[in-house]
């Protein structure tokens, strides 16, 4: 559905980082993986990928599960260092003096890096005129500096090529598994070093970058992150970077990673407040210093992110018995008042595109829906006027944003909440159709989320327990489902 021109390739070399390049010594892998994750695997022939200049028709079918259309089938690159993912290829591989093994590995798998650069990174962010793509800006340079980040990136790229249907070769499944295992080895090595002697500033970025890519890999594969433990495991590092003794040590890349990981943690908290792991200090840092990162990543205004984080944190304390119910209810009332009175026209956005405001409105109502489900998710019916108003507002935003631009893809989470909190058949149908459109555009199938919505709708239809509501949170049996949303 992307109609904008493919992003212009540029050099990823960063002279300021060359002195901090990590060692290229490879950790031992299990015997069945061979000496190298890539080994002698050649570039799979007949790669089939969606062109970033036109992955699908802007006139959507009424079926969210329709077969892929307007897909560009391309032959494999004639050399490992050359890609044909875009009509005009400009070699952007940066020179890597002193690290020939890493450089050669990147050259041998350039088609996977190009897929991440030109296609996948565009699906993962809101990249419009006058903004930068944070994955291209911060993740790609690290992949050319550290084996672990490179493997995590290539594993995600191989997984997306397969899961999206662009190429159904089982070879991509094998590649994605090997690269993920390799990245986990490097991540474990750096975390061990952190315990023993601490990490350098570049190494901290490598750790955060690997965790983000590994979580996204699992989300791409199943819609459920089995690496929720890693998301929790680096919360200490995010807190340390959020509260440095010298703020000048916090790079733009670190701020992006902190923002992305804190967002994933917050989504996890939506499915169960007890799962929230990141501290108020981290969310406050994102609010005060990560505005651009959060906007371009998901389109949620930082003040909205911070306020709902406070609600979830209070919910966690209430569940643990550390916050009396009366005080929790007072906080909920104040939060509801805040979200209802917050004016999206007064917020500052990265560019003048009106879609920023529309996305902000969708997130505002998504947060209202979550606030209204506290402290008892069973108590309030979907027929309550406040629930119905927020559901309708989210669906109205979906109807008003063109489906062929980058903003529409960021409606997935508000759409999920609207779909989970309505009992209207036509709203269910529309929410399902919109979610199907986003799946088709991005190649991320989100099977866990789809299964969850189906269970909620079926249970609400039968309502065997005779309760006022069937909260979607009750069906979340996965520890990190929130990462999929």
Lowest mean pLDDT among 93-102, 165-174, 276-285: 93-102
- Give 323 or 62, the one with higher predicted confidence: 323
Average pLDDT along the chain: 81
* HSE-up (13 A, CA, CB side) for residue 419: 27
**Is the bond leading into 209 cis (omega within 30 degrees of zero)?**
no
- Indicate whether 380 pLDDT > 80: yes
- Indicate whether 29 pLDDT > 90: no
The answer to whether the beta carbons of residues 444 and 122 sit under 8 Å apart is: no
User: pLDDT tier at 244 (50, 70, 90 boundaries)?
Assistant: confident
The pTM of the full predicted model, rounded to 2 decimals, is 0.79
Q: Which pLDDT score, from 0 to 100, does residue 43 have?
A: 43
Q: Which pLDDT score, from 0 to 100, does residue 411 have?
A: 98
Q: How far apart are CA 300 and CA 316, in angstroms?
A: 22
Taking CA atoms, 251 is separated from 15, 154, 216, 303, in Å, by 15, 24, 22, 22
Q: Determine how many CB atoms are found less than 10 A away from the CB of residue 173.
A: 15
The answer to whether the beta carbons of residues 346 and 313 sit under 8 Å apart is: no
Lowest mean pLDDT among 56-65, 93-102, 130-139: 56-65
- Give 51 or 153, the one with higher predicted confidence: 153
φ and ψ at residue 49, rounded to 5 degrees:
-135, 155
Q: What is the pLDDT of residues 71-90, one digit of tens each?
A: 222 223 333 333 323 323 33
Q: What is the pLDDT of residues 251-283, one digit of tens each?
A: 999 999 999 999 999 999 999 999 999 999 999
Tokens 């291209």: give the residue: 136
- Indicate whether 306 pLDDT > 80: yes
- Sort strands 72-73 and 48-49 into parallel, antiparallel or unpaired: antiparallel
- Indicate whether 439 pLDDT > 80: yes
**Signed CA dihedral, 57, 91, 140, 106: sign only:** positive
- Indicate whether 203 pLDDT > 70: yes
Q: How far apart are the first and last CA of the chain?
A: 20
């Amino acid at each position: 559905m992307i109609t904008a021109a493919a992003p212009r390739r540029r050099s990823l070399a960063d002279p300021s980082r060359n002195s901090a390049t990590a060692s290229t010594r490879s950790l031992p892998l299990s015997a069945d993986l061979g000496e190298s994750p890539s080994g002698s695997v050649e570039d799979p022939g007949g790669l089939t990928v969606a062109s970033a200049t036109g992955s699908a028709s802007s006139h959507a079918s009424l079926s969210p599960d329709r077969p892929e259309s307007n897909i560009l089938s391309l032959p494999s690159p004639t050399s490992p260092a050359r890609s044909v993912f875009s009509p005009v290829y400009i070699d952007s591989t940066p020179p890597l003096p002193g690290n020939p093994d890493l450089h050669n590995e990147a050259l041998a798998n350039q088609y996977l890096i190009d897929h991440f650069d030109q296609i996948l990174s565009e699906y993962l962010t809101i990249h419009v005129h006058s903004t930068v793509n944070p994955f291209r800006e911060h993740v790609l340079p690290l992949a050319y500096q550290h084996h672990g980040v490179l493997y995590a990136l290539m594993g995600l790229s191989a997984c997306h090529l397969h899961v999206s249907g662009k190429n159904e070769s089982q070879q991509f499944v094998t590649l994605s598994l090997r690269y993920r295992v390799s990245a986990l080895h490097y991540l474990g090595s750096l975390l061990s070093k952190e315990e023993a002697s601490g990490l350098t500033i570049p190494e901290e970025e490598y750790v955060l970058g690997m965790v983000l890519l590994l979580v996204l890999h699992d989300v791409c594969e199943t819609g459920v992150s089995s690496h929720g433990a890693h998301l929790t495991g680096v919360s200490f590092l995010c807190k340390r970077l959020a509260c440095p003794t010298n703020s000048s040590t916090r790079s733009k890349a670190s701020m992006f990673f902190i923002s992305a990981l804190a967002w994933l943690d917050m989504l996890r908290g939506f499915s169960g407040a007890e799962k929230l792991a990141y501290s108020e200090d981290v969310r406050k840092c994102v609010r005060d210093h990560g505005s651009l990162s959060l906007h371009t990543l998901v389109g949620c205004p930082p003040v909205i992110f911070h306020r709902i984080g406070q609600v979830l944190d209070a919910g966690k304390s209430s569940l643990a018995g550390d916050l009396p119910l009366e005080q929790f209810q007072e906080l909920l009332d104040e939060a509801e008042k805040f979200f209802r009175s917050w004016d999206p026209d007064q917020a500052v956005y990265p560019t003048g595109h009106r879609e920023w405001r529309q996305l902000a409105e969708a997130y505002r109502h998504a947060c209202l829906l979550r606030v209204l489900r506290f402290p008892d998710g069973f108590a309030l019916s979907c027929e309550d006027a406040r629930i119905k108003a927020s559901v309708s507002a989210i669906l109205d935003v979906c109807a008003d944003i063109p489906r062929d631009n980058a903003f529409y893809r960021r409606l997935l989470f508000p759409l999920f909440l609207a779909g989970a909190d309505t009992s209207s058949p036509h709203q269910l149908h529309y929410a399902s159709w919109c979610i199907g459109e986003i799946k088709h555009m991005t190649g991320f199938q989100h099977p866990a989320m789809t299964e969850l919505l189906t269970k909620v709708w079926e249970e609400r239809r039968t309502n065997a327990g005779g309760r006022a509501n069937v909260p979607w949170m009750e069906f979340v049996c996965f520890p990190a489902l929130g990462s999929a949303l």
